[in-house]
Amino acid sequence: MNQIIIVIIDALKLLLTLTPLVGLIWSSVTIKKKEKRKKGLYQLICSVVLAAIAYCFLISHNTWIEYNDYWILNNNIEKVQSRYGDFEYEKHGENSRVGYHVFYDNGPVMPDYLNYYYIMEYDETGNIYKVYLSAIDT
């Protein structure tokens, strides 16, 4: 769980770093004195667009940053496997689920020494209806 927070914080740091840089690039494009008024507008537009893109990315990759939840929930097992590779965890039966290993928790503060998986539950036709992060002792 700590690594999820770290990934989110790193993404926000990247966003905060890129926003002023994009604004500076756009503001340096202005050549004429008349266009100096547009400088602030360019910076504002770039900041809003970049923030919107980062927000959409974080929302669509809510469970784990490597996997697009929206895309996965709208597809079946075969398409997910062809896009992300072979599954590292499989359980068949009444509650069929598959998953990908995301990290092993051996952090310095209260580690649980468990493997965490990005789990996808699917029905008998192979359509995924639920995704979540789960600790599995293997």
Domain boundaries, the chain: 2-60, 75-136
Q: Where are the alpha helices (DSSP H) in the chain?
A: 2-29, 36-60, 69-73, 77-84
Q: What is the pTM of this model?
A: 0.66
pLDDT tens digits, 29-72 = 555 555 666 777 777 888 888 888 888 888 887 888 888 888 89
- Which range in 15-24, 47-56, 96-105 is most confidently predicted, on average pLDDT? 96-105
Task: Give the full edge-to-edge strand order of the sheet including 115-122.
Answer: 89-91, 97-104, 115-122, 128-136
In angstroms, the first-to-last Cα distance of the chain is 18
